[in-house]
Amino acid sequence: MTDSPFCVKAVLFDFDGTLTKPGSIDFNLIKRAIGCPAESFILEFIETLDDNIKREKAISALENFETKAADCSEPNNGAEELLLYLCSNGLSTGIISRNSLESIKRAFHNFKKIKFSDFDVIITRDDPVKPKPYADGVILAAKKLEVDVKELVVVGDFIFDIQAGKNAGSITVFLNNGIEHDFSDPDSDYTISQLGELKDVIRQGLPLSSGKSAKY
């Protein structure tokens, strides 16, 4: 937990399990389908495949799983209300995901109040930057949003989200969704159990003196 005051100008969200309800994508099933060892991570495993045909097949299988997951994904509890709140307080918003851009666009068909185009920046594995946990995507998002990385809050439900945010020097918020994980809580600045709690974090960093007070 951070003690130092901060100023928030933008919020960057992970997608699966953060803006959407957890569980729509079964990573273990994908791993088995593409022959990825259980202890490895999918994108990093695909990178190690030096046979082009095997690699293309693995990418195609991953994309098929992502498409199906996108079709049945739902907005996470409080996600749409939170995004409206952030917009009404003049904050920029973005998404940073290891998914394809296409699967994220598709998942937005299941959102009602928020559209894909409401986000100021969306960074996916289709962008030419190293994926989370590297800081590169967060730094690129900050640049596109024209904010300092220190003014950016990075929110996610996995260790890589927090590592990427910390590696970039941003404020980090771990969303545990009120469920048990098979990993220990990462060393984030804040931990919340549902997205609505993010308002309390954001309120601490809003520039009240600029005349923009938190709205509820």
In terms of CB distance, is 177 or 206 closer to Mg ion? Answer: 177
* Binder among 17, 75, 131, 205 for Mg ion (CB under 5 A): 17
Tell the smallest beta-carbon distance from residue 193 to Mg ion (Å): 15
Question: Judged by CB under 5 A, does residue 66 bind Mg ion?
Answer: no
* Binder among 66, 151, 157, 189 for Mg ion (CB under 5 A): 157
Tell the smallest beta-carbon distance from residue 53 to Mg ion (Å): 30
Which residue bears the tokens 């590696």? 167
**Burial class for 137, CB neighbours closer than 10 Å (0-12, 13-18, 19+):** buried
In terms of CB distance, is 108 or 158 closer to Mg ion? Answer: 158
User: Distance between CA 186 and CA 163 in Å, rounded?
Assistant: 8
User: Distance between CA 66 and CA 103 in Å, rounded?
Assistant: 6
Tell the smallest beta-carbon distance from residue 177 to Mg ion (Å): 10
Tell the smallest beta-carbon distance from residue 98 to Mg ion (Å): 8
Tell the smallest beta-carbon distance from residue 160 to Mg ion (Å): 8
In terms of CB distance, is 120 or 157 closer to Mg ion? Answer: 157
User: In terms of Cα–Cα distance, which of 119, 118, 121, 91 is closest to 203?
Assistant: 91
In terms of CB distance, is 9 or 97 closer to Mg ion? Answer: 97
User: Distance between CA 77 and CA 214 in Å, rounded?
Assistant: 21
- The 158-177 contact track toward Mg ion, x by CB under 5 A, reads x-------------------
39: which 2 tokens?
A: 């202890």
204: which 2 tokens?
A: 């601490």
Spatial contact of 145 and 121, defined as CB atoms under 8 Å apart:
yes
* Binder among 12, 14, 20, 206 for Mg ion (CB under 5 A): 14
**Burial class for 129, CB neighbours closer than 10 Å (0-12, 13-18, 19+):** middle
Which residue bears the tokens 């666009």? 105
Tell the smallest beta-carbon distance from residue 25 to Mg ion (Å): 9
In terms of CB distance, is 190 or 206 closer to Mg ion? Answer: 190
Angle between the N-to-C axes of helices 136-145 and 159-168, in degrees from 0 to 180, rounded to the nearest 10? 60
Stretch that binds Mg ion, among 32-40, 155-163, 178-186, 188-196 (CB under 5 A): 155-163
Interacting residues with Mg ion (CB under 5 A): 14, 16-17, 157-158
